[in-house]
Every structure is written in structure tokens, then in C-alpha cells.
Structure 1
Amino acid sequence: MALLQVINLHKQFGDLELLNSCNFNLQTGEILGLFGRNGVGKSTLLKILFGTSIASKGILKINETQYPVRRSIWDKNPIISKGLVGYLPQFSFLPKTAKVWDIIPTYFDGEDQNLIFTAPRMADIAERKVNELSLGQKRYLEVLILGNLKHPFLLLDEPFSMVEPIFKELIHDFLVSLKAKKGILVTDHYYNDVWKLADRNLILNNGKLHQVNRIGDLVTGGYLRTSN
């Protein structure tokens, strides 16, 4: 089992304290849902965990090894270099004019490529260029690529947003199959998709993380107006 620990994490922009004493654990074998309104700092939190944003202070541990959350932008990022965390940003990272079957070998060698090519629905898109794919096809491909890499932790920012129902279902089923060997953190404004997927849930509000046990807690936490 691998364990990621976030302890007393802060992020400040001028006078705005976006993250304030954030604490949580994520371990392999579980999916953690993260809720919060636009602009509260969800994406910033994921970027800090991945290492492309810098916290004001706090502690990040992976398997009891501490990794810097404050550093110069010129310093090597050990989380990325050691392949500890995979990160799906809100916007596509795939080269628009490349064909799908040419992209896969840049991430996987030999028979490992079959992890992607033999996945459901991949035969329909393998010969097409990325800019010819629907939003759902593109997002599904990105999740397949990141999910099949060796990172013990996977951070997903808006994997379901604007995705067609068939690909939402494929992404959901794939992530459920992954959690035996990964710890997964997912945030999305399509909150029902996250709620159905996650084993535990947190809400980020006024810079702090709170546990969510039922849909009504999303109303109390200021994320939803009503639970109906």
C-alpha cells in the first residue's frame, strides 16, 4: 500500500489565503472525491500535489518520505522525476494534429501499448487525429494513458466535464478497476459522477477541507443550493 499525506498546507496569493491548514490522506485502494465552487482552490491544490504549483507552507509526504511544497521554480521536482503522481489537467495535453496510434508509443513500450489499444472503444479512434475526436473520446484517451502509467497516485481535474454518457461510463469503470493499485483524487463540477465514483469525499470551502458524508453536506458547505 502507498500513502500520500497532506499536512497543514497553505497557499496564499497576496492577501488572499486560498488554502488554509488543509489536511488529508490518500492511499492506494481508494478514490477520494473533492468538491468546491469555482475559484476556491481545487485545481491549485492538485497542482501543488503534482509539483507544478508552490505552496506557501505545509508538508507533503509519500510513503513517509517528505517532498518540498516550497521551492524555487528552477529546482528539479522529485515527485515528477520519480513518477509518483499522475495529473490530468482541465485542458487536453495531447498534440492536436497527431494520430492516436502515433501518440501511444511515446508513453508505452512493446506489449504495454496493448493496455491502450485493446481498451473498449479504442479501435474506433486509433487511426484518427486528436483534433478529430469528440470531447468524450479525447478525455477517455487521456485517462487511459495516465491511468496505465506506473504512478501510485492519480489526480484528475474535470475528467467528466462535457463528456458524452458512454465515455463517462467507460471512464468510471476504468477508474474503479484502477483503485486496487492506485490512490485516486478526482474533482469535477459534474458532482453526481464524482459522488457515484468516490469512496470518501471532501469539500473545500473558505480555504479549508471538510469531510462530506452525504449529499446534504454539499448544501451545508455552500457547494449546492439544494440536495434535490
Structure 2
Amino acid sequence: MNASRHYLAKAYFVGRKLISEIMAQVFRYVGKKLARVDGYTKVTGLEKFTIDIQLPGMLYGRILRSPYAHAIVKEIDTSEAERMGAVIVTFKDVPKVLFNPRLVSIHEVTYRDWLVLTDRPLYVGEPIAAVAAETEEKAQRALEAIKVKYEVLEPILDPLEAMKPGKPLLHKRIYLGDKEVEVRNNIACELRYEEGDPDRGFKESDIVLERVYRTNRRYHMQLEP
């Protein structure tokens, strides 16, 4: 038994070495130790990032975001922030043009339902105003000077509950292309795929197990590290 393990281990390392030699001859980069192009500048602190760029007349921005998952902005007072010399843009100043933030290839899911700035935030962190000032400190102080009164609404946290009749609609109007889509029971689009006869399959099964599974949001095959 010990002899067999010895030969298996030896064969493994010989095979691994052979594969490495083949890869070294065939591939220019795969299987080789390469220095990161930006490694030296990053470890020495010489790398330039976006925050390091300063241009003549450049302004600094801040976004005022909703602290509530579902609310209506009843009042917004930007007078104090404006007295600080900042420029303020709220949902009152931008057109109500809906857009689609999703990068998907399925046409039905490309409906437009987001606003750049909104007075009816539907999640914590949704933008309702933006600030621009000559320095980061001024922009932050102006942001904190904006006074907002919210009417806090019941958040919809469960998608299955949200689809039940009588639940408040989160989106009153959405658009697919140039066509306005009617939203019912908070269902923006519905795609059905069927194969075989699942109802018959359940009836003919000796045992049927029903479970609810939940996962976090997943993205596939992204390139970023």
C-alpha cells in the first residue's frame, strides 16, 4: 500500500512538472509569474486615482439619499445650503424621465422604471437631491444643511407579499420602449417557460417535497477582480 502511494505521488508530481513545461512553451502568460503593470506605482504611493485629479474650476459633488425604504418627500428646504455657496439640484429641477439601469439582453426586462432624482424613494439610499461646491468640505456641509420632511410608508420587503392583490403599487408607470406598461400587483414583466407536463408529473410522483429557497443577488462571469 505504501509503495502504491509512493508511485502515485511521484506520478502526480512528474505529470504536474510536464504540464508546467508544456504550458511554458505554448503560453506566453498562463502559468508564468508576471509583475502587475500597476504594482510598483501602487505600493510606492505614486499611482494616480480619480480622487487625485484636480482641474481648474472643478466642483465636488455629494448625493442626498433617502434614509427610508419607502417614503414620500413632503418638503425639502435647500435655502441654508444655497447660502453656503453650493448649487443644489432636487427632484423638482430634473425632468421626470424614466431610465433602465439594468444591463440585460432580455427585452422584457429592459423596462424603464428609475428616476435620476425622486420624491418617492423606494429603497434606502435612493437619490433625492445633489450638491455641487468648490471643495469637498463645502459640499458635505451643504448636504447636511438640506432639511427634508418625509412621510414614511410601509416598506415592501417580501416579493411574494408584494404580488398579492391590494398591496400598494411601488411603480405607477413604467415604459418598455415607447410603450407605457400597466403594472398590476407590482409585476413589471412576466415570462413563462414550460417543458413537459409538470402538473401530471407531480400527480404521478410518489413523494412531493415543497421548499422555499432564498439566495442573495448573483452576477455571472464578471471580469472585474
With normalisation by structure 1, the TM-score equals 0.23
Which structure's residues are more often helix, by fraction?
Answer: 1
Point out which structure has higher relative CO (alpha carbons under 8 A, 6+ apart).
1
Larger radius of gyration: 2
Higher strand share: 1
